[in-house]
């Protein structure tokens, strides 16, 4: 079934197509995927032991560290398959290894065709129209992850107009970067209706547009990904958009990853993060320690299985985030595709700061409750623990923020007001950075 039809098909049709794709994927993996072959051999399993998706749990999960250690073991041997399945279309990179080398995620021509289908469905779910103009606010990065180029590909998948603002400067060898004022002028000049980028930068662009008196009256949507977004931060960004743009402008959050080359998206605020290609991606939620299924409606570690890939293929891959899965019909758009109905949060190990074990999520939530849409970042070093906050010094805010963090975590940070450029960042802002060896 075409992926566009599957998105709004009955649940039974989605499950049937998934089983068909899984059978095809397992045929290939059992014969051509080094990692799967090794896992099956070690467990005494054969292809016949995987009659349906219900049997997938017989394979142990794949951890990110295992993929990073030997990425070639996760590439399908495509010798003898059609040319589209053999030809490498592009290579993106996920989290670096302990040696600092980025981990390649390989897509064939066949995979790229699927990526376009995913991108198109992401836009359909978000209510994109033929007349929309996308402002791509993702930075070009020295190591490609997918965000910058896939936004351009998404526009192509729906034959939309797009302008790439090229913010920042990722390398001394790059000469075409645009400063924040230039980005604002590009958005205004193009009469963009959609802003697409990481939330921290989209907020900066909108705030600077207000200061400059720029014409953002066409803006009706903001697509944000790559960083956590609280409801308070969403509300502040929505209000700012509505002051500058359309009175009904809204913010659509997505949960993306290099391993999906796309993301799960909202069709409306708070609707849950929809799987845009249920025939390509199968999500499980399991106990983070035992990897036992926890069932729909319960929080657990997210596992991703590729159902239609020919380059890098991941089965039961631990994404490193905790969320809640629902297979109920979306009350907003009517789609039966699976949704994450709780914003994903990292399942990373606790940090020891000044002798106290601290959950990074607790730090971020405490700061967000006080700082709202202000950008911030915690930095942990051997010499100390600092909360960096964007903006001019404010003694009252300092006292309130420091007390909130201390009350929530038991650890007192030093607070430093900085400019947005002083944060430790790649293409997205990490809320807690540990610089200790």
pLDDT tens, 126-136? 999 999 999 99
pLDDT tens, 170-213? 889 999 999 999 999 999 999 999 999 998 899 999 999 999 99
Q: Mean pLDDT lowest for which of 1-5, 44-48, 110-114, 259-263?
A: 1-5
Where among 265, 286, 313 does a domain terminate? 265
Domain with 286 in it: 3-113+272-346
Are 220 and 136 found together in one domain? yes
26 within domain boundaries: yes
212 within domain boundaries: yes
pLDDT beyond 70 at 427: no
Are 254 and 279 found together in one domain? no
Q: What Cα–Cα distance (Å) separates residue 283 from each residue in 132, 243, 256, 277, 324?
A: 31, 38, 13, 11, 11
121 within domain boundaries: no
- Identify the CATH number of the domain in which residue 152 sits: 3.40.50.980
Q: Mean pLDDT lowest for which of 72-86, 94-108, 239-253, 318-332?
A: 94-108
Contacts of 187-190 with CB under 8 Å at 24 or more apart are: 187/135, 187/163, 187/214, 187/216, 187/219, 188/214, 188/215, 188/216, 190/133, 190/135, 190/161, 190/163
pLDDT tens, 43-89? 999 999 999 999 999 999 999 989 999 999 999 999 999 999 999 99
Q: Band the pLDDT of 2: cuts 50, 70, 90.
A: low
Where among 289, 324, 346 does a domain terminate? 346
Where among 211, 242, 265 does a domain terminate? 265
Q: What is the mean pLDDT of residues 335-361?
A: 83
Q: Mean pLDDT lowest for which of 95-104, 238-247, 320-329, 394-403?
A: 95-104
What is the model's pLDDT at position 1?
59
Q: How many domains does the chain have?
A: 3
Are 84 and 19 found together in one domain? yes
Are 341 and 371 found together in one domain? no
Q: What is the mean pLDDT of residues 109-114?
A: 99
397 within domain boundaries: yes
Q: Mean pLDDT lowest for which of 143-152, 253-262, 371-380?
A: 371-380
Q: What Cα–Cα distance (Å) separates residue 22 from each residue in 3, 196, 279, 312, 328?
A: 15, 33, 9, 16, 21
- Identify the CATH number of the domain in which residue 389 sits: 3.30.300.30
Q: Band the pLDDT of 375: cuts 50, 70, 90.
A: confident
What is the model's pLDDT at position 6?
92
């Amino acid at each position: 079934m075409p992926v566009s039809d599957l998105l709004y098909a009955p649940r039974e049709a989605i499950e049937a197509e998934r089983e068909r794709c899984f059978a095809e994927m397992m045929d290939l993996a059992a014969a051509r995927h080094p990692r799967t072959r090794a896992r099956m051999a070690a467990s005494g399993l054969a292809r016949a032991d995987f009659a349906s998706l219900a049997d997938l749990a017989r394979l142990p999960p794949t951890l990110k560290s295992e993929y990073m250690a030997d990425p070639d073991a996760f590439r399908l041997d495509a010798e003898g398959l059609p040319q589209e399945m053999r030809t490498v279309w592009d290579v993106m990179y996920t989290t670096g290894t302990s040696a600092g080398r980025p981990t390649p995620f390989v897509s064939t021509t066949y995979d790229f065709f699927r990526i376009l289908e995913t991108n198109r469905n992401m836009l359909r779910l978000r209510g994109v129209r033929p007349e929309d103009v996308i402002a791509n606010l993702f930075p070009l990065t020295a190591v490609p992850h997918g965000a910058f180029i896939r936004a351009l590909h998404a526009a192509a998948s729906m034959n939309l107009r797009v302008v790439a603002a090229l913010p920042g400067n990722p390398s001394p060898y790059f000469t075409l970067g645009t400063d924040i004022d230039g980005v604002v002028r590009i958005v205004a000049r193009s009469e963009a209706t959609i802003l697409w980028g990481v939330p921290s930068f989209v907020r900066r662009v909108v705030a600077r547009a207000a200061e400059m008196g720029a014409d953002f009256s066409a803006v009706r949507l903001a697509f944000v990904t790559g960083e956590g977004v609280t409801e308070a931060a969403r509300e502040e960004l929505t209000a700012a958009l509505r002051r500058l743009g359309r009175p009904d402008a809204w913010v659509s959050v997505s949960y993306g990853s290099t391993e999906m080359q796309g993301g799960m998206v909202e069709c409306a605020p708070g609707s849950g993060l929809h799987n845009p290609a249920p025939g390509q991606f199968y999500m499980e939620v399991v106990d983070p320690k035992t990897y036992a299924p926890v069932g729909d409606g319960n929080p657990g570690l997210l596992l991703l299985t590729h159902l239609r890939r020919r380059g890098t293929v991941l089965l039961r891959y631990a994404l490193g985030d905790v969320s809640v899965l629902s297979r109920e019909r979306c009350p907003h758009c009517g789609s039966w595709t699976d949704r994450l109905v709780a914003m994903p949060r990292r399942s990373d190990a606790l940090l020891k700061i000044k002798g106290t074990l601290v959950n990074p999520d607790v730090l971020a939530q405490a700061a967000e409750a006080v700082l709202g849409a202000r950008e911030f970042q915690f930095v942990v070093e051997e010499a100390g623990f600092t909360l960096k906050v964007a903006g001019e010094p404010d003694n009252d805010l300092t006292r309130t923020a420091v007390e909130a963090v201390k009350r929530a975590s038991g650890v007192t940070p030093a607070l430093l007001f900085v400019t947005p450029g002083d944060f430790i960042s790649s293409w997205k802002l990490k809320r807690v950075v540990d610089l200790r060896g």
